Amino acid sequence: MSKKLRVGILGATGMVGQRYITLLADHPWFEVVLVAASSRSAGKTYEQAVAGRWKMDEAVPTAVRELTILDVNQVSQIAKQVDFVFSAVSMSKDEIKKIEETYAKAEVPVVSNNSAHRWTPDVPMIVPEINPDHTRIIKYQRERLGTTRGFIAVKPNCSIQSYAPALSAWRKFEPTQVVATTYQAISGAGKTFKDAPEILNNVVPFISGEEEKSEKEPLKIWGQVDDQKREIIPATSPIITSQCLRVAVLYGHTAAAFVNFKQKPTKEELIEALENYRGVPQELKLPSAPAQFIQYLTEDDRPQVRFDVNFENGMGISIGRLRTDKIFDWKFVGLSHNTARGAAGGAILCAELLKAQGYITAN
């Protein structure tokens, strides 16, 4: 068996960092050898640093308990010890942009959960089933950064994962207009019910920056690599408008969506397109790839967070309630796991794709 790639987690103590740690505990290709966080946690063991703030159901994996946390700003020291890093650092957007680029320039591939670089034109924003070919922009990014190994790749916001996969499966029917209302879990804000008592018996109709991300990010994912401009040119349709609400759910973002199409597909055609949607992760059988990317549920009261959020270990998308509408052509409800597919799990699948394509290698 070939040696595992050495991974560092930047921002290892936060909720997304903790999810990386648990999802990577028995990963066949990657081994967490380094954990980094802010200077407040640096010098502590991982177990000490997360004591009293560990939010996962699983115990802290034995292999990382005794790792000493490094300061994320110790870039050259960290660069020597890893083959690549996952970034879930919590800083201002400008600081994140800068530190992720510093790692890339230190020849460390960075797979990021943060939004800071999502609109950097030569940074691919990847959902491996949808736009695996966008990774070819990395050669231009490396030329700009002056690197041979280092680069930045990002995953999109968790809010889009409940409806963008269905719209991707339906691209051939040319969606023109989409309304998507999301009902987002509190873990998306890094909280549990213990930290967020204000959400009980409540719906909060505002999540900062979320609606813009929900409307724009799918367009970059459906865009094209322009070899002349050396950037990814976003698609111009469909027009998406969205409202994002925080609800009293721990894990699972639900979307209620309406769609108009240029072509006029039947319900059977739409369901068939969902169920047969396969991508490179399924073809290559990447370790975190769901066998079935999208399931269609026929029961009137599904998808439900309680029953469906863990479909395919939280890496599959559940769609249901597809029906015609008085104003739009079709409406449907979608559900995705926001910290698995929507955050750390999506980034791990992205890193698996990058390894399979030869962009992440042993240093």
Ligand X SMILES: N[C@@H](CC=O)C(=O)O
Query: Which of 347, 276, 315 has the alpha carbon at shortest distance from 87?
Result: 347
Nearer to ligand X, 152 or 225 (CB): 152
Binding mask 202-241 for ligand X (x = CB under 6 A): -----x--x-------------------------------
117 is catalytic: no
Give me the phi and psi of 152, to 5 degrees please.
-120, 135
Beta sheet of 330-336, edge-to-edge order: 203-204, 239-247, 175-184, 253-261, 330-336, 317-324, 294-297
Contact 69, 45 (CB under 8 A): yes
CB of 341 to ligand X, least distance (A): 11
CB of 2 to ligand X, least distance (A): 32
- Judged by CB under 6 A, the stretch of 135-143, 182-190, 286-294, 352-360 that binds ligand X is 182-190
Query: Which of 258, 325, 293 has the alpha carbon at shortest distance from 128?
Result: 293
Of the candidates 18, 90, 112, 157, which one interacts with ligand X according to CB under 6 A?
157
Cα distance between residue 223 and residue 300, in whole Å: 34
CB of 210 to ligand X, least distance (A): 6
- Judged by CB under 6 A, the stretch of 29-37, 155-163, 226-234, 278-286 that binds ligand X is 155-163
Q: Which residue is nearest to ligand X (CB)?
A: 188
337 is catalytic: no
Helix H or strand E segment including 56: none
Beta sheet of 5-10, edge-to-edge order: 70-71, 30-37, 5-10, 84-87, 110-112, 152-154
Give me the phi and psi of 350, to 5 degrees please.
-65, -45
Binding mask 260-299 for ligand X (x = CB under 6 A): ----------------------------------------
Contacts to ligand X by CB under 6 A? 157-159, 184, 188-189, 207, 210, 338, 342-343
The residues that are catalytic are 158, 253
